[in-house]
A and B are shown apart, each in its own frame.
Chain A
């Protein structure tokens, strides 16, 4: 039994792609493989021209650290660090000095995400939406080629969800990043440029800039069984 089977997928840079599908369709596994968090038992994953299977654990870790950003559904921040410490953590792990250049970038991202007055709070003192924005800031502050978001709105109310999704879209439009988001919510997928629909571990459709009607049609037979 494989979580994924025969997935052949090409994601374009500079676009906001949503991966959709019912529970158990392999969304998360696909994303973990794409992001080098998990290794496929067979096949290859090439990110930004790098064949991930060829990398050892340390090289893979460094690749993730330097080239990828992550936003997760629930558990996103380290509880013992402040928001600011969480944001610069990947840079610190890479051994980079927090110099003027870095600080300027942090300020810029923090400005965009509206976090300026929450930087010295710990995650426990932030709302869910704020925590998620800190996570996005962390993903954006490095030079990440791709930001992976795993159900980033799963724990948020609709206002906070809309906020987070629009920030993700802005980072694609204004900062030129690539975002890959796993979601099972139609509303969330509507923010994306492209939508990949998975079912039973296979790619069912890969829609470029779909309309709402196309999206509903693509998901129709499975959404009822999803939840």
Chain B
């Protein structure tokens, strides 16, 4: 049997290409995931180690250190003349020469003692006082900050001015754009302390005990113990992401199973005569079965091996690319864990063997007599079995019930479970549903000519194969459209929320009247759609000091993104939280507004909205206080305006005119960017699944071409031109892809909506159900194009068949 096996492997190599590719891609994907995860971990671990240099002890809890423990630790250090430095971070507004760099600029600590400093200074020198700062080299370059510049951190009375004295190399852990000593960081709103780095002068053990007694909940650990703990924590985060990636690998594996099972089914159908002949000349069933199983084993081993090797190479390549793009500090040395490698290899082999198992069983049923019958078309007519149908209906019903329950009970796990179960149900019903859809679709497009009609007839003749072929694409399309729909709905919901929080795109507020010339200058700025002055008075307010109090009229309010957010009720003052948090004493429930001796008392309403440093009251309230004059300019930006460019341009106007700019567009852009990144990441990963699905379609159509050589010859003899034959095959691929795309889009949109109802509605009760028509159309188009592309090679091969070929008896 070995001669037969080897000869068969040699002869059929080309037909195994698709199955081989599918396994290789899936295995390679797992290996690449591991390589990149390891590289990321190595990069982060090195970063963590570098962040705690040269100290004997580190004081801190798992997630930071509280103020009391911090103060006590520093007290102990002062008492014993030890050196200690606080590690901490803050997010704050930063500006250089009135040019706002951002409202959420990352600031972290730098030690003023040289050997406790974690940053590596690459230009200038290290800070020696509270008022000196180190800037991240890359961030400084991007923002045009140079050594010697003065940066204003925060705003209002607690704003801190620091001078940049040097540039630092970027770090991956506790990295920031600007590093200033803790005494300055601690003054910023939202500053958090991570730990205290403690260098002992004298006995470490003794001090450790003293510190232990001094602090409350904080732990005192040796530097190495602390770093190891942190590394583990950071790595756990990476592991979570790797496991998420494994989910996609599992999808890729599942799709591979379908492709491989299809390949073997078709291959064995074609080889029925060969196998029967083997049986005729004396091979036992066992021998034949062993022979084909060993074939699948060889395929499995070769594909898995190449998948592991290819994945490893791709891992090194990708790591190099990331290093090039993101800088060397982000990613460390590529490494592989044996568990993952072995897992990927074994997984690939097992998936192949499992997928080949059922088709090979059919081999046993080949009777020796089959060899003696005249060559018939090897056609595996399959039908949806009754058991399968019943099981499918049951699963679908169960899954749908779970989905309904999930929406009613707002439960994400039940939603996922219901989604998966119902999807399996759809897959099980595939042999019924897919041919029906193919027939319906074929009837619609069948009017275009005989080619499409023949193609339709071809695709429905083998329901199980068509179902398996479309299933591979169905998985990818369903997931992609579910994510797109869910994201679109979430984006809509978040968009409404953002409108309420940031009703004014950019506001310029001051305490002196704005002149017409300034307004004109703002209006002329690029990307400004409209700008309006808003009247108000400057009042003295309890707990807030002198602040502009604005009275936007109806037209002013209508020009904002959410008129309701800037509308005050009678006898009420709207106080944005950004203004309220500046108050050192807090804002009372009722406040007195005083202008030049005239005063009025109003109810305070704290709002999450933001329109700059100003309060809002009704015109009636303002009239009680005096004549309102234009104190602010509210700008509405054009769609697609670059938030940074607009912020910079208007910031320049504000600086020249003594106004205070607030750029809400930038916050909005940041949230949008995060959603975009999420969508792109998911779509990118799904690309892997879709790539395998395409290999699957090319495979099915390609093998069908081999299988139907005689039919094609007959069609050519009867008068089908080459072009028409190519069109038949293109139409087959297109029909299969379109059915998968349409069914997948329908399912995906439904899942996306259910996800929105379950997840997004808990956060935003009236989140809209959005259909992202454009994106869905793009998915369908991509799938259809891919179906066409998958058929190019098989169609070319089929068209080469001479009409006389295969019509006579072999």
Question: What is the 8 Å Cβ interface bit string for chain A, positions 63-103, against chain B (1 contact, 0 not)?
Answer: 01110001011111011110001000110111100000000
B802 interface residue, CB < 8 Å from A? yes
Q: How far is the CA of A38 from the CA of B802 in the complex (A)?
A: 7
Given the complex, which residues of B lie within 8 Å of A80, measured CB to CB? Answer: 457-458, 460-461
Question: Which residue on B lies nearest to A86, using beta carbons?
Answer: B718
Question: What number of A residues sit within 8 Å (CB to CB) of B?
Answer: 35
Given the complex, which residues of A lie within 8 Å of B381, measured CB to CB? Answer: 124
Q: How far is the CA of A155 from the CA of B457 in the complex (A)?
A: 27
Q: How far is the CA of A124 from the CA of B449 in the complex (A)?
A: 25
Q: How far is the CA of A138 from the CA of B461 in the complex (A)?
A: 22
A62 interface residue, CB < 8 Å from B? yes
A157 interface residue, CB < 8 Å from B? no
Partner of A37, one of B453, B721, B804: B804
B254 to chain A, nearest CB (A): 29
Given the complex, which residues of A lie within 8 Å of B717, measured CB to CB? Answer: 35, 37, 64, 70
Given the complex, which residues of B lie within 8 Å of A214, measured CB to CB? Answer: none
Question: Which residue on B lies nearest to A33, using beta carbons?
Answer: B804
B419 to chain A, nearest CB (A): 35
Question: What is the 8 Å Cβ interface bit string for chain A, positions 47-67, against chain B (1 contact, 0 not)?
Answer: 000000000011001101110
Q: A37-B804, A37-B807, A70-B717 are in contact. Are A61 and B710 (CB under 8 A)?
A: no
Question: What is the 8 Å Cβ interface bit string for chain A, positions 139-160, against chain B (1 contact, 0 not)?
Answer: 0000000000011001100000
Question: Which residue on A lies nearest to B725, using beta carbons?
Answer: A61
A32 interface residue, CB < 8 Å from B? yes
Contact present for B461 and A94 (CB under 8 Å) = no
A28 interface residue, CB < 8 Å from B? yes
Question: Which residue on A lies nearest to B451, using beta carbons?
Answer: A93
Interface centre among A70, A75, A85 (most CB of B within 10 A): A75
Q: How far is the CA of A89 from the CA of B718 in the complex (A)?
A: 8
Given the complex, which residues of A lie within 8 Å of B453, measured CB to CB? Answer: 92
Q: How far is the CA of A64 from the CA of B374 in the complex (A)?
A: 27
B732 to chain A, nearest CB (A): 12
Given the complex, which residues of B lie within 8 Å of A66, measured CB to CB? Answer: 719
Given the complex, which residues of B lie within 8 Å of A154, measured CB to CB? Answer: 809
Q: A57-B722, A74-B809, A154-B809 are in contact. Are A95 and B714 (CB under 8 A)?
A: no
* Residues B183-198 near A (CB distance < 8 A): none
Given the complex, which residues of A lie within 8 Å of B457, measured CB to CB? Answer: 78, 80-81, 85
Question: Which residue on A lies nearest to B377, using beta carbons?
Answer: A79
Partner of A92, one of B450, B458, B711, B808: B450
Q: A58-B722, A61-B722 are in contact. Are A95 and B802 (CB under 8 A)?
A: no
Contact present for A93 and B804 (CB under 8 Å) = no
Given the complex, which residues of B lie within 8 Å of A93, measured CB to CB? Answer: 450, 715, 718-720, 724
Question: Which residue on A lies nearest to B808, using beta carbons?
Answer: A28
Q: How far is the CA of A175 from the CA of B207 in the complex (A)?
A: 117
Q: How far is the CA of A73 from the CA of B717 in the complex (A)?
A: 14
Question: Which residue on B lies nearest to A32, using beta carbons?
Answer: B804
Q: How far is the CA of A93 from the CA of B725 in the complex (A)?
A: 11
Question: What is the 8 Å Cβ interface bit string for chain B, positions 725-737, against chain A (1 contact, 0 not)?
Answer: 0000000000000
Q: How far is the CA of A92 from the CA of B715 in the complex (A)?
A: 12
Question: What is the 8 Å Cβ interface bit string for chain A, positions 24-36, against chain B (1 contact, 0 not)?
Answer: 0000100010010
Q: How far is the CA of A94 from the CA of B718 in the complex (A)?
A: 10
Given the complex, which residues of A lie within 8 Å of B807, measured CB to CB? Answer: 37, 72, 75, 150
Q: How far is the CA of A70 from the CA of B449 in the complex (A)?
A: 22
B793 to chain A, nearest CB (A): 20
Partner of B377, one of A32, A35, A64, A75: A75
Interface centre among B458, B461, B803 (most CB of A within 10 A): B803
Question: Which residue on A lies nearest to B458, using beta carbons?
Answer: A80
Q: Report whether over half of chain B's contact residues are helix, strand or loop; otherwise say mixed.
A: loop
Given the complex, which residues of A lie within 8 Å of B449, measured CB to CB? Answer: 95
Given the complex, which residues of B lie within 8 Å of A35, measured CB to CB? Answer: 717
Q: How far is the CA of A92 from the CA of B809 in the complex (A)?
A: 27
Given the complex, which residues of A lie within 8 Å of B454, measured CB to CB? Answer: 78, 81
Question: Which residue on B lies nearest to A94, using beta carbons?
Answer: B719
Question: Which residue on B lies nearest to A67, using beta carbons?
Answer: B719
A114 to chain B, nearest CB (A): 23
B284 interface residue, CB < 8 Å from A? no
Q: A74-B374, A80-B461, A95-B450 are in contact. Are A61 and B720 (CB under 8 A)?
A: yes
Partner of A58, one of B714, B723, B809: B723
Question: Which residue on B lies nearest to A75, using beta carbons?
Answer: B710
Q: How far is the CA of A57 from the CA of B375 in the complex (A)?
A: 28
Contact present for A79 and B721 (CB under 8 Å) = no
Q: A32-B804, A74-B374, A150-B808 are in contact. Are A79 and B711 (CB under 8 A)?
A: yes
Contact present for B714 and A64 (CB under 8 Å) = no
Q: Total number of A-B contacts with CB less than 8 angstroms?
A: 91
Q: How far is the CA of A171 from the CA of B721 in the complex (A)?
A: 28
B646 to chain A, nearest CB (A): 60
A212 to chain B, nearest CB (A): 27
Contact present for A79 and B718 (CB under 8 Å) = no
Contact present for A64 and B711 (CB under 8 Å) = no
B716 interface residue, CB < 8 Å from A? yes
B379 interface residue, CB < 8 Å from A? yes
Contact present for B714 and A72 (CB under 8 Å) = yes
Interface centre among B711, B714, B722 (most CB of A within 10 A): B714
Contact present for A65 and B718 (CB under 8 Å) = yes
Q: A37-B807, A93-B720, A150-B808 are in contact. Are A79 and B374 (CB under 8 A)?
A: no
Contact present for B809 and A61 (CB under 8 Å) = no
Contact present for A78 and B714 (CB under 8 Å) = yes
Contact present for B802 and A37 (CB under 8 Å) = yes
* Residues A123-178 near B (CB distance < 8 A): 124, 138, 150-151, 154-155
Q: How far is the CA of A37 from the CA of B713 in the complex (A)?
A: 9
Question: Which residue on A lies nearest to B462, using beta carbons?
Answer: A80
Contact present for B804 and A78 (CB under 8 Å) = no
Question: Which residue on A lies nearest to B803, using beta carbons?
Answer: A37
Q: How far is the CA of A64 from the CA of B714 in the complex (A)?
A: 12
Given the complex, which residues of A lie within 8 Å of B804, measured CB to CB? Answer: 32, 37-38
Partner of A73, one of B379, B450, B723, B808: B808
Given the complex, which residues of B lie within 8 Å of A75, measured CB to CB? Answer: 375-377, 710-711, 714, 806-807
Question: What is the 8 Å Cβ interface bit string for chain B, positions 376-402, against chain A (1 contact, 0 not)?
Answer: 110101000000000000000000000
Contact present for B711 and A78 (CB under 8 Å) = yes
Given the complex, which residues of B lie within 8 Å of A72, measured CB to CB? Answer: 714, 807-808
Given the complex, which residues of A lie within 8 Å of B379, measured CB to CB? Answer: 79
Contact present for B374 and A155 (CB under 8 Å) = yes
Partner of B719, one of A28, A62, A124: A62
Contact present for B719 and A61 (CB under 8 Å) = yes
Given the complex, which residues of A lie within 8 Å of B723, measured CB to CB? Answer: 58
B175 to chain A, nearest CB (A): 64
Q: How far is the CA of A151 from the CA of B809 in the complex (A)?
A: 10
Contact present for A58 and B721 (CB under 8 Å) = yes
Contact present for B718 and A62 (CB under 8 Å) = no
Q: How far is the CA of A66 from the CA of B453 in the complex (A)?
A: 20
Given the complex, which residues of A lie within 8 Å of B376, measured CB to CB? Answer: 74-75
B495 to chain A, nearest CB (A): 51
Question: What is the 8 Å Cβ interface bit string for chain B, positions 686-730, against chain A (1 contact, 0 not)?
Answer: 000000000000000000000000110011111111111000000
Q: How far is the CA of A90 from the CA of B724 in the complex (A)?
A: 13
Given the complex, which residues of A lie within 8 Å of B716, measured CB to CB? Answer: 61
Q: Can you pick out 23 interface pairs between chain A and chain B where the beta carbons lie within 8 Å of each other?
A: A32-B804, A38-B802, A57-B721, A61-B719, A61-B722, A62-B719, A64-B803, A65-B719, A70-B718, A72-B714, A75-B375, A75-B376, A75-B377, A76-B714, A78-B711, A80-B457, A90-B718, A93-B715, A94-B719, A95-B449, A138-B718, A150-B807, A151-B809
* Inter-chain pairs besides A37-B717, A89-B450, 19 sampled, C-beta below 8 Å: A28-B808, A57-B721, A57-B722, A61-B716, A64-B719, A70-B717, A72-B807, A74-B809, A75-B377, A75-B711, A78-B711, A78-B714, A80-B457, A90-B719, A92-B450, A93-B715, A93-B718, A154-B809, A155-B374
Q: Which 7 A-B pairs have the closest CB atoms?
A: A65-B719, A37-B804, A32-B804, A38-B804, A80-B457, A80-B461, A92-B450
Residues of B at under 8 Å CB distance from A?
374-377, 379, 381, 449-450, 453-454, 457-458, 460-461, 710-711, 714-724, 802-804, 806-809
